Amino acid sequence: MAGTPIADFWAEFRANRVAVVALAVVLLTVLATLAAPILVPQDPYDLANLTLRDARRPPGYVGTAGFTHVLGTDAQGRDLLSAIVYGLRISLGMGITAGCIAFAFGATVGAVSSFVGGRIETIAMRIVDLQLSFPAILLALVLAAVLGQGKTQLLIALVAAQYAYFARTAHGAATAERHKDYVEAALSTPLPARTVILRHIVPNCLPPLIVVATVQVANSIALEATLSFLGLGLPPTEPSLGMLIANGFQYLLSGRYWISIYPGVALIVLIVAINLVGDQVRDQLNPRLRR
Protein backbone atom coordinates (compact mmCIF):
# COMPACT_ATOMS: atom_id res chain seq x y z
CA MET A 1 0.00 0.00 0.00
CA ALA A 2 2.90 2.32 0.73
CA GLY A 3 4.96 4.21 -1.82
CA THR A 4 4.47 6.85 -4.46
CA PRO A 5 1.69 6.45 -7.02
CA ILE A 6 4.29 5.57 -9.67
CA ALA A 7 5.83 2.86 -7.49
CA ASP A 8 2.38 1.44 -6.81
CA PHE A 9 1.57 1.53 -10.50
CA TRP A 10 4.77 -0.31 -11.35
CA ALA A 11 4.18 -2.91 -8.65
CA GLU A 12 0.78 -3.69 -10.11
CA PHE A 13 2.12 -3.66 -13.66
CA ARG A 14 4.89 -6.07 -12.73
CA ALA A 15 2.34 -8.62 -11.59
CA ASN A 16 1.33 -9.24 -15.22
CA ARG A 17 4.24 -11.14 -16.72
CA VAL A 18 2.97 -10.92 -20.29
CA ALA A 19 2.82 -7.14 -20.05
CA VAL A 20 6.35 -6.98 -18.61
CA VAL A 21 7.72 -9.06 -21.50
CA ALA A 22 5.81 -6.85 -23.94
CA LEU A 23 7.26 -3.72 -22.36
CA ALA A 24 10.75 -5.21 -22.59
CA VAL A 25 10.18 -5.93 -26.29
CA VAL A 26 9.06 -2.36 -26.92
CA LEU A 27 12.01 -0.85 -25.03
CA LEU A 28 14.51 -3.18 -26.73
CA THR A 29 13.08 -2.29 -30.13
CA VAL A 30 13.42 1.41 -29.39
CA LEU A 31 17.00 0.91 -28.23
CA ALA A 32 17.87 -1.25 -31.24
CA THR A 33 16.51 1.32 -33.68
CA LEU A 34 18.39 4.12 -31.93
CA ALA A 35 21.62 2.15 -32.09
CA ALA A 36 20.88 0.77 -35.55
CA PRO A 37 24.06 1.98 -37.32
CA ILE A 38 26.38 0.25 -34.84
CA LEU A 39 24.19 -2.83 -34.37
CA VAL A 40 23.52 -4.15 -37.83
CA PRO A 41 26.10 -5.76 -40.13
CA GLN A 42 25.38 -3.53 -43.14
CA ASP A 43 24.11 -0.05 -43.99
CA PRO A 44 21.23 -1.28 -46.16
CA TYR A 45 20.88 1.99 -48.09
CA ASP A 46 24.47 2.50 -49.12
CA LEU A 47 24.20 1.18 -52.67
CA ALA A 48 27.95 0.59 -52.78
CA ASN A 49 27.46 -2.28 -50.34
CA LEU A 50 25.03 -4.16 -52.54
CA THR A 51 25.68 -6.61 -55.31
CA LEU A 52 23.04 -8.43 -57.28
CA ARG A 53 25.00 -11.65 -56.80
CA ASP A 54 23.67 -11.65 -53.25
CA ALA A 55 20.04 -11.01 -54.26
CA ARG A 56 17.17 -13.13 -52.92
CA ARG A 57 19.39 -15.48 -50.94
CA PRO A 58 17.73 -17.57 -48.20
CA PRO A 59 18.44 -17.11 -44.48
CA GLY A 60 21.90 -18.30 -43.42
CA TYR A 61 23.58 -17.41 -46.72
CA VAL A 62 27.13 -16.12 -46.40
CA GLY A 63 27.43 -13.15 -48.74
CA THR A 64 30.29 -11.66 -50.74
CA ALA A 65 30.96 -9.19 -47.93
CA GLY A 66 31.90 -12.15 -45.78
CA PHE A 67 29.16 -12.10 -43.12
CA THR A 68 26.14 -14.34 -42.68
CA HIS A 69 22.75 -13.00 -43.77
CA VAL A 70 20.82 -14.40 -40.81
CA LEU A 71 17.44 -13.56 -42.33
CA GLY A 72 18.49 -13.76 -45.99
CA THR A 73 18.60 -10.96 -48.54
CA ASP A 74 16.05 -9.06 -50.63
CA ALA A 75 15.75 -8.45 -54.36
CA GLN A 76 18.64 -5.94 -54.35
CA GLY A 77 20.94 -8.18 -52.35
CA ARG A 78 20.34 -6.17 -49.17
CA ASP A 79 20.82 -7.87 -45.80
CA LEU A 80 17.25 -8.32 -44.53
CA LEU A 81 18.10 -8.06 -40.84
CA SER A 82 19.72 -4.67 -41.44
CA ALA A 83 16.82 -3.56 -43.61
CA ILE A 84 14.33 -4.62 -40.94
CA VAL A 85 16.08 -2.69 -38.15
CA TYR A 86 16.23 0.41 -40.34
CA GLY A 87 12.62 -0.17 -41.38
CA LEU A 88 11.57 -0.44 -37.73
CA ARG A 89 13.33 2.84 -37.12
CA ILE A 90 11.26 4.56 -39.80
CA SER A 91 7.99 2.85 -38.82
CA LEU A 92 8.43 3.54 -35.13
CA GLY A 93 9.51 7.12 -35.81
CA MET A 94 6.45 7.77 -37.96
CA GLY A 95 4.13 6.10 -35.47
CA ILE A 96 5.42 8.02 -32.48
CA THR A 97 5.59 11.35 -34.31
CA ALA A 98 2.07 10.97 -35.69
CA GLY A 99 0.83 9.81 -32.27
CA CYS A 100 2.37 12.82 -30.49
CA ILE A 101 1.01 15.37 -32.96
CA ALA A 102 -2.42 13.76 -32.89
CA PHE A 103 -2.27 13.72 -29.06
CA ALA A 104 -1.37 17.42 -28.83
CA PHE A 105 -3.82 18.53 -31.49
CA GLY A 106 -6.69 16.25 -30.46
CA ALA A 107 -6.38 16.91 -26.73
CA THR A 108 -6.30 20.65 -27.37
CA VAL A 109 -9.37 20.51 -29.57
CA GLY A 110 -11.24 18.38 -27.05
CA ALA A 111 -10.27 20.27 -23.91
CA VAL A 112 -10.67 23.74 -25.40
CA SER A 113 -14.08 22.97 -26.88
CA SER A 114 -15.16 21.60 -23.51
CA PHE A 115 -14.18 24.85 -21.83
CA VAL A 116 -15.40 27.26 -24.47
CA GLY A 117 -18.73 25.45 -24.70
CA GLY A 118 -21.68 26.70 -26.67
CA ARG A 119 -21.94 26.40 -30.41
CA ILE A 120 -18.20 25.93 -30.98
CA GLU A 121 -18.26 22.86 -28.71
CA THR A 122 -21.29 21.43 -30.49
CA ILE A 123 -19.83 21.89 -33.96
CA ALA A 124 -16.34 20.67 -33.06
CA MET A 125 -17.64 17.52 -31.37
CA ARG A 126 -20.09 16.88 -34.18
CA ILE A 127 -17.19 16.87 -36.66
CA VAL A 128 -15.17 14.62 -34.38
CA ASP A 129 -18.05 12.16 -34.06
CA LEU A 130 -18.55 12.14 -37.79
CA GLN A 131 -14.89 11.38 -38.30
CA LEU A 132 -14.99 8.61 -35.72
CA SER A 133 -17.75 6.90 -37.66
CA PHE A 134 -15.60 7.13 -40.77
CA PRO A 135 -12.90 4.43 -40.99
CA ALA A 136 -9.44 5.83 -40.36
CA ILE A 137 -7.92 3.84 -43.20
CA LEU A 138 -10.28 5.38 -45.72
CA LEU A 139 -9.56 8.89 -44.54
CA ALA A 140 -5.83 8.27 -44.66
CA LEU A 141 -6.20 6.69 -48.09
CA VAL A 142 -8.09 9.66 -49.45
CA LEU A 143 -5.67 12.19 -47.99
CA ALA A 144 -2.66 10.25 -49.22
CA ALA A 145 -4.25 10.18 -52.65
CA VAL A 146 -5.16 13.86 -52.71
CA LEU A 147 -1.94 15.17 -51.12
CA GLY A 148 0.47 12.88 -52.91
CA GLN A 149 3.47 10.98 -51.58
CA GLY A 150 5.89 12.26 -48.97
CA LYS A 151 6.69 12.22 -45.30
CA THR A 152 4.75 15.39 -44.42
CA GLN A 153 1.74 14.30 -46.43
CA LEU A 154 1.73 10.92 -44.75
CA LEU A 155 2.02 12.53 -41.31
CA ILE A 156 -0.94 14.78 -42.10
CA ALA A 157 -2.95 11.75 -43.21
CA LEU A 158 -2.06 9.78 -40.06
CA VAL A 159 -2.80 12.68 -37.72
CA ALA A 160 -6.10 13.47 -39.48
CA ALA A 161 -7.10 9.85 -39.15
CA GLN A 162 -6.31 9.67 -35.43
CA TYR A 163 -6.73 13.01 -33.68
CA ALA A 164 -10.48 12.48 -33.31
CA TYR A 165 -9.94 9.70 -30.73
CA PHE A 166 -7.88 12.04 -28.57
CA ALA A 167 -10.36 14.88 -29.02
CA ARG A 168 -13.30 12.70 -27.97
CA THR A 169 -11.46 11.33 -24.94
CA ALA A 170 -10.12 14.71 -23.81
CA HIS A 171 -13.51 16.32 -24.26
CA GLY A 172 -15.24 13.62 -22.25
CA ALA A 173 -12.68 13.69 -19.44
CA ALA A 174 -12.49 17.48 -19.28
CA THR A 175 -16.26 17.85 -19.24
CA ALA A 176 -16.60 15.25 -16.51
CA GLU A 177 -13.91 16.92 -14.39
CA ARG A 178 -15.25 20.38 -15.09
CA HIS A 179 -18.55 19.56 -13.44
CA LYS A 180 -17.17 17.78 -10.43
CA ASP A 181 -17.79 19.51 -7.13
CA TYR A 182 -14.15 19.92 -6.27
CA VAL A 183 -13.45 21.83 -9.49
CA GLU A 184 -16.49 24.02 -9.02
CA ALA A 185 -15.27 24.63 -5.50
CA ALA A 186 -11.72 25.40 -6.60
CA LEU A 187 -12.97 27.75 -9.31
CA SER A 188 -14.96 29.72 -6.76
CA THR A 189 -11.83 30.41 -4.70
CA PRO A 190 -9.50 33.29 -5.57
CA LEU A 191 -7.07 30.81 -7.17
CA PRO A 192 -6.42 31.72 -10.79
CA ALA A 193 -8.34 29.49 -13.22
CA ARG A 194 -5.02 28.50 -14.81
CA THR A 195 -3.89 26.91 -11.54
CA VAL A 196 -7.12 24.96 -11.24
CA ILE A 197 -6.79 23.68 -14.78
CA LEU A 198 -3.13 22.69 -14.45
CA ARG A 199 -3.35 21.26 -10.93
CA HIS A 200 -6.67 19.48 -11.06
CA ILE A 201 -8.12 19.03 -14.49
CA VAL A 202 -5.08 18.13 -16.58
CA PRO A 203 -3.82 15.42 -14.19
CA ASN A 204 -7.26 13.83 -14.13
CA CYS A 205 -7.61 13.86 -17.91
CA LEU A 206 -4.21 12.34 -18.54
CA PRO A 207 -4.84 8.66 -17.70
CA PRO A 208 -7.50 8.03 -20.37
CA LEU A 209 -5.41 9.99 -22.90
CA ILE A 210 -2.33 7.90 -22.15
CA VAL A 211 -4.33 4.76 -22.83
CA VAL A 212 -5.56 6.17 -26.13
CA ALA A 213 -1.99 7.22 -26.98
CA THR A 214 -0.52 3.71 -26.64
CA VAL A 215 -3.28 2.24 -28.78
CA GLN A 216 -2.96 5.00 -31.36
CA VAL A 217 0.83 4.67 -31.70
CA ALA A 218 0.29 1.00 -32.53
CA ASN A 219 -2.51 1.94 -34.90
CA SER A 220 -0.34 4.58 -36.57
CA ILE A 221 2.36 2.01 -37.22
CA ALA A 222 -0.14 -0.45 -38.66
CA LEU A 223 -1.82 2.24 -40.74
CA GLU A 224 1.49 3.52 -42.08
CA ALA A 225 2.51 -0.03 -42.99
CA THR A 226 -0.80 -0.60 -44.75
CA LEU A 227 -0.52 2.64 -46.73
CA SER A 228 3.08 1.88 -47.64
CA PHE A 229 2.05 -1.60 -48.67
CA LEU A 230 -0.58 -0.12 -50.97
CA GLY A 231 2.05 2.20 -52.43
CA LEU A 232 0.56 5.32 -50.83
CA GLY A 233 3.04 5.79 -48.01
CA LEU A 234 6.59 6.97 -47.76
CA PRO A 235 8.76 7.48 -50.84
CA PRO A 236 11.07 4.58 -51.78
CA THR A 237 14.04 6.44 -50.28
CA GLU A 238 12.61 5.82 -46.82
CA PRO A 239 11.57 2.18 -46.83
CA SER A 240 9.44 1.41 -43.79
CA LEU A 241 8.43 -2.13 -42.87
CA GLY A 242 5.28 -1.84 -44.97
CA MET A 243 7.30 -1.21 -48.09
CA LEU A 244 9.72 -4.05 -47.35
CA ILE A 245 6.73 -6.36 -47.11
CA ALA A 246 5.23 -4.98 -50.32
CA ASN A 247 8.52 -5.44 -52.17
CA GLY A 248 8.68 -9.06 -51.05
CA PHE A 249 5.06 -9.80 -51.93
CA GLN A 250 5.81 -10.75 -55.54
CA TYR A 251 8.49 -13.23 -54.43
CA LEU A 252 6.18 -14.80 -51.84
CA LEU A 253 4.23 -16.53 -54.60
CA SER A 254 7.41 -18.20 -55.84
CA GLY A 255 8.24 -19.49 -52.39
CA ARG A 256 10.89 -16.91 -51.35
CA TYR A 257 8.93 -16.24 -48.21
CA TRP A 258 11.63 -14.55 -46.12
CA ILE A 259 11.64 -11.24 -47.97
CA SER A 260 8.04 -10.55 -46.92
CA ILE A 261 7.57 -12.72 -43.86
CA TYR A 262 10.42 -11.52 -41.62
CA PRO A 263 9.67 -7.79 -41.90
CA GLY A 264 6.05 -8.75 -41.23
CA VAL A 265 7.00 -10.70 -38.12
CA ALA A 266 8.95 -7.69 -36.84
CA LEU A 267 5.95 -5.46 -37.49
CA ILE A 268 3.51 -7.80 -35.74
CA VAL A 269 5.74 -8.32 -32.70
CA LEU A 270 6.08 -4.57 -32.27
CA ILE A 271 2.36 -3.86 -32.66
CA VAL A 272 1.24 -6.73 -30.43
CA ALA A 273 3.77 -5.71 -27.77
CA ILE A 274 2.56 -2.11 -27.74
CA ASN A 275 -1.06 -3.25 -27.58
CA LEU A 276 -0.35 -5.63 -24.69
CA VAL A 277 1.34 -2.84 -22.73
CA GLY A 278 -1.60 -0.58 -23.59
CA ASP A 279 -4.13 -3.22 -22.43
CA GLN A 280 -2.44 -3.58 -19.07
CA VAL A 281 -2.19 0.20 -18.59
CA ARG A 282 -5.84 0.54 -19.49
CA ASP A 283 -6.91 -2.14 -17.04
CA GLN A 284 -4.90 -0.47 -14.31
CA LEU A 285 -6.24 3.00 -15.01
CA ASN A 286 -9.87 1.98 -15.49
CA PRO A 287 -11.58 2.28 -12.11
CA ARG A 288 -14.55 0.31 -13.37
CA LEU A 289 -12.50 -2.86 -13.70
CA ARG A 290 -11.11 -2.52 -10.18
CA ARG A 291 -12.76 -4.52 -7.46
Partner 1 sequence: MVGFVIQRLLQAGLVMAAMSVLVFVGVYAVGNPIDVLLSPNVDQITRLETIAAYGLDRPLWEQYLLFAGRLIHGDFGRSFIFGVPVLDLIFSRLPATLELTLAAVIAATLLGVPLGMYAGYRPDSTASRVIMGVSILGFSVPTFWVGLLLIFVFGVELQVLPAGQRGETATLFGIEWSFLTGNGLRHMLLPALNLSLFKLAMMIRLARAGTREVMFGDTVKFARAAGLRERTVLGRHVLKLIAIPIVTVFGLEFGSTLAFAVVTETIFSWPGVGKLIIDSIATLDRPVMVAYLVLVAFLFITINLVVDLTYAALDPRLRRGGAR
Q: Does residue 271 bind partner 1 (CB under 8 A)? A: yes
Closer CB to partner 1, residue 66 or residue 287? 287
Where in 100-139 is the site for partner 1 (CB under 8 A)?
A: 130, 133-135, 137-138
Q: What is d(CA 146, CA 33) in angstroms, rounded to the nearest whole number?
A: 31
* Least distance from partner 1 to the Cβ atom of residue 135, Å: 4
Q: Does residue 261 bind partner 1 (CB under 8 A)? A: yes
CA 209 to chain centre: 14
Q: Which stretch binds partner 1 (CB under 8 A): 2-10, 67-75, 154-162, 245-253?
A: 245-253
Q: Does residue 90 bind partner 1 (CB under 8 A)? A: no
Q: Does residue 22 bind partner 1 (CB under 8 A)? A: no
Where in 174-213 is the site for partner 1 (CB under 8 A)?
A: none
Closer CB to partner 1, residue 61 or residue 257? 257
Exactly one of 1, 6, 48, 146 binds partner 1 (CB under 8 A); that residue is: 146
Q: Does residue 43 bind partner 1 (CB under 8 A)? A: no
Q: Which residues of 27-51 are buried (b: 16+ CB within 10 A; e: fewer)?
A: eebeebbeebeeebbbbbeeeebbe
Exactly one of 35, 104, 193, 268 binds partner 1 (CB under 8 A); that residue is: 268
Q: Does residue 253 bind partner 1 (CB under 8 A)? A: yes
Q: Does residue 283 bind partner 1 (CB under 8 A)? A: no
Q: Which stretch binds partner 1 (CB under 8 A): 52-60, 162-170, 194-202, 217-225?
A: 217-225
Q: Which stretch binds partner 1 (CB under 8 A): 59-67, 93-101, 182-190, 250-258?
A: 250-258
DSSP the chain: --S-HHHHHHHHHHT-HHHHHHHHHHHHHHHHHHTHHHHSSS-TT-GGG--GGGTTPPTTEE-TTSSEETT-B-TT--BHHHHHHHHHHHHHHHHHHHHHHHHHHHHHHHHHHHHH-HHHHHHHHHHHHHHHTS-HHHHHHHHHHHH-SSHHHHHHHHHHHHHHHHHHHHHHHHHHHHTSHHHHHHHTSSS-HHHHIIIIIHHHHHHHHHHHHHHHHHHHHHHHHHHHHTT-SS-TTS--HHHHHHHHHHHHTTT-THHHHHHHHHHHHHHHHHHHHHHHHHHHH-GGG--
Q: Which stretch binds partner 1 (CB under 8 A): 48-56, 143-151, 161-169, 179-187?
A: 143-151
Q: Does residue 245 bind partner 1 (CB under 8 A)? A: yes
Closer CB to partner 1, residue 24 or residue 123? 123
Exactly one of 40, 55, 70, 142 binds partner 1 (CB under 8 A); that residue is: 142
Of 168, 213, 177, residue with least CA distance to 197? 177
CA angle, 244 then 46 then 247, to 5°: 15
Exactly one of 226, 282, 283, 285 binds partner 1 (CB under 8 A); that residue is: 226
Residues that bind partner 1 (CB under 8 A): 130, 133-135, 137-138, 141-142, 144-146, 218, 222, 225-226, 229-232, 245, 249, 252-253, 255, 257, 260-261, 264, 267-268, 271-272, 275-276, 279
